[in-house]
C-alpha cells in the first residue's frame, strides 16, 4: 500500500488499530509527523460534507477558496502553497502542516455556511432569508439552513413552530423530524415538536409528507393536516384567523391536552410550570402572552384550578 493510499484510508477511518500499529512506522520514519497527522485525523473525525455536495466537490471548492486568499504584506511569513488537485487522496498525502491548514480552513469556511436562528423562551423572532422569504419563529423554536448555493437549494430544518411566507423560485423545503413540506411560493404554518407535526396552508399550495413517505397530502388554501397515531391525517378546514393569531401573542385551543397548553405557557413567558397534581384534561380556550397572571387566569379558572407564582419564575398548579 502506497503512502497516499495509507493516509487516505486512515483519514477516512478505514484502517483498524492493528493496521495503524503495524504499518504506521513503515510509512512514517518521523514519529513527530505521524503524531501530528494522527491528531488532525482525530480532531476531524466528526466532520461531514455539506448537504448537497460530494466529497470531491467540497474539497475542490475549499481549495479554490484557499487560492483566493491574498498574499501577506510581509515577506517574513512563510506561506504553504497548496496546488489545486481534483483528487482528495493527493490533498491528504501532504505534510502534516498542510493538513492542519486545510482542516482549519474547512472549519472556517464550511462552518460559516450554516446559519442557525434561535427564538428563545419568552421571545419571538422574524427572519428574512437570502431570497427574501419571511419566517416568524415562535418562542422555543430554531431554524437552520445553509447559505451556500441557497437560491438553487432552498432547504431549512425546523424545530418548533414557525409561519412561512415563501417567495416564488426554486423548490423550497422545510425539513422536520416527523416529515417535510415542499412548496414553490406560498404562506403556511408549521408545528414540529417532539411527537407533534402540523401543517396549515394559508395561500398557494404545499405538499406534506411524513418522514418515511408513507402518507402524503397536497394542501390548498384553508386546509390543515396533523400527525396522529403514527400517520398524517386527512386534511380538514381550519379557522385561519385564529391559527395565525399566535404571531400577535394570542393562542387558541380546542380540545388540546393541558400539558400542551402549559408547555406553550412556559415557552411564551420563560417560566417553569409544575402541574403534576393536575389531571391532563382537554382544554378549550385562549390565553395571551402579554401578561403572565392574566394568562394563568384564562387557563385555570374555567378548569377549576388554582395557581401559585413563586420566586424564580416557578409556577405551581393545583386543584381548588
Question: How confident is the model over 50-102, as pLDDT tens digits?
Answer: 555 545 555 555 555 545 544 444 445 444 444 444 444 444 445 445 555 55
Looking at the structure, tell me whether residues 135 and 233 fall in a common domain: yes
Looking at the structure, tell me whether residues 118 and 231 fall in a common domain: yes
CA distance 277 to 208: 38
Answer yes or no: is pLDDT of 44 > 50.
yes
Lowest mean pLDDT, pick from 15-24, 68-77, 125-134, 179-188? 68-77
* Count of beta carbons in the 10 Å neighbourhood of residue 20: 17
Looking at the structure, tell me whether residues 159 and 238 fall in a common domain: yes
Q: How high is the mean pLDDT of the chain? A: 80
pLDDT at res. 67: 55
Mean pLDDT of 258-264: 96
pTM over 0.75: no
Looking at the structure, tell me whether residues 38 and 10 fall in a common domain: yes
Looking at the structure, tell me whether residues 133 and 172 fall in a common domain: yes
CA distance 40 to 99: 7
Answer yes or no: is pLDDT of 283 > 60.
yes
Percent of the chain at pLDDT > 90 equals 54
Residue 182 CA, chain-centre distance (Å), reads 17
CA distance 270 to 254: 23
Looking at the structure, tell me whether residues 8 and 97 fall in a common domain: yes
212-251 pLDDT tens trace: 888 999 999 999 999 998 899 999 998 877 777 899 999 9
Looking at the structure, tell me whether residues 127 and 235 fall in a common domain: yes
Q: How many domains does the chain have?
A: 3
Higher pLDDT, 209 or 71: 209
Closest C-alpha among 116, 175, 122, 165 to residue 142: 116
CA distance 185 to 168: 4
Q: pLDDT band at residue 10, thresholds of 50, 70 and 90?
A: low
Looking at the structure, tell me whether residues 70 and 166 fall in a common domain: no
CA distance 113 to 102: 17
Contact call for residues 144 and 114 (beta carbons, < 8 A): yes
Answer yes or no: is pLDDT of 305 > 60.
yes
Looking at the structure, tell me whether residues 90 and 24 fall in a common domain: yes
Residues near 98 by Cβ (< 8 Å), separated by ≥ 6? 80, 82
Boundary of a domain, candidates 67, 84, 111: 111
Looking at the structure, tell me whether residues 101 and 124 fall in a common domain: no
Range(s) of the domain holding residue 297: 249-319
Higher pLDDT, 241 or 11: 241
Output the DSSP codes for 201-242: EEESEEEEEETTSS-EEEEETTEEEEEETTEEPPPEE--HHH
Boundary of a domain, candidates 89, 111, 133: 111
Boundary of a domain, candidates 242, 264, 279: 242
List the Cα angle 48/52/55 in 5-degree steps. 50
Looking at the structure, tell me whether residues 136 and 238 fall in a common domain: yes
CATH number of the CATH domain containing 270: 3.55.50.30
Contact call for residues 241 and 285 (beta carbons, < 8 A): no
Mean pLDDT of 254-271: 96
Q: pLDDT band at residue 13, thresholds of 50, 70 and 90?
A: low
Looking at the structure, tell me whether residues 142 and 83 fall in a common domain: no
CATH number of the CATH domain containing 162: 2.60.120.1440
Amino acid at each position: 500500500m502506497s503512502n497516499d493510499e495509507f493516509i487516505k484510508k486512515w483519514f477516512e477511518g478505514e484502517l483498524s488499530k492493528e493496521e495503524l500499529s503495524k504499518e504506521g512506522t513503515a510509512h512514517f520514519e518521523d514519529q513527530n509527523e505521524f503524531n501530528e497527522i494522527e491528531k488532525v485525523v482525530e480532531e476531524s473525525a466528526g466532520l461531514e460534507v455539506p448537504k448537497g455536495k460530494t466529497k470531491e466537490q467540497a474539497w475542490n471548492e475549499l481549495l479554490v477558496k484557499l487560492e483566493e486568499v491574498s498574499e501577506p504584506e510581509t515577506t517574513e511569513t512563510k506561506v504553504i502553497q497548496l496546488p489545486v488537485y481534483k483528487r482528495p487522496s493527493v490533498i491528504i498525502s501532504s505534510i502534516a502542516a498542510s493538513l492542519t491548514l486545510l482542516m482549519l480552513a474547512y472549519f472556517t469556511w464550511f462552518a460559516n455556511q450554516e446559519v442557525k436562528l434561535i427564538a428563545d423562551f419568552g421571545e419571538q423572532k422574524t427572519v428574512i432569508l437570502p431570497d427574501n422569504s419571511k419566517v416568524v419563529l415562535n418562542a422555543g423554536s430554531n431554524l437552520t439552513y445553509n447559505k451556500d448555493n441557497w437560491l438553487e437549494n432552498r432547504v431549512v430544518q425546523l424545530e418548533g413552530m414557525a409561519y412561512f411566507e415563501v417567495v416564488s423560485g426554486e423548490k423550497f423545503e422545510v425539513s422536520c423530524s416527523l416529515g417535510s413540506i415542499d412548496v414553490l411560493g406560498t404562506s403556511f404554518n408549521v408545528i414540529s415538536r417532539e411527537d407533534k407535526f402540523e401543517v396549515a396552508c394559508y395561500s398557494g399550495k404545499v405538499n406534506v409528507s411524513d418522514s418515511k413517505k408513507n402518507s402524503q397530502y397536497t394542501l390548498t388554501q384553508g386546509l390543515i393536516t396533523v400527525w396522529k397515531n403514527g400517520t398524517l391525517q386527512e386534511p380538514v378546514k381550519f379557522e385561519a384567523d385564529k391559527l395565525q393569531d399566535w404571531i400577535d401573542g394570542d393562542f387558541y385551543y380546542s380540545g388540546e391536552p393541558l400539558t400542551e397548553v402549559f408547555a406553550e405557557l412556559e415557552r411564551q413567558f420563560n417560566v417553569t410550570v409544575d402541574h403534576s397534581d393536575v389531571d391532563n384534561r382537554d382544554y378549550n380556550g385562549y390565553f395571551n402572552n402579554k401578561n403572565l397572571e392574566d394568562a394563568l387566569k384564562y387557563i385555570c379558572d374555567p378548569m377549576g384550578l388554582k395557581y401559585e407564582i413563586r420566586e424564580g419564575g416557578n409556577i405551581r398548579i393545583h386543584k381548588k
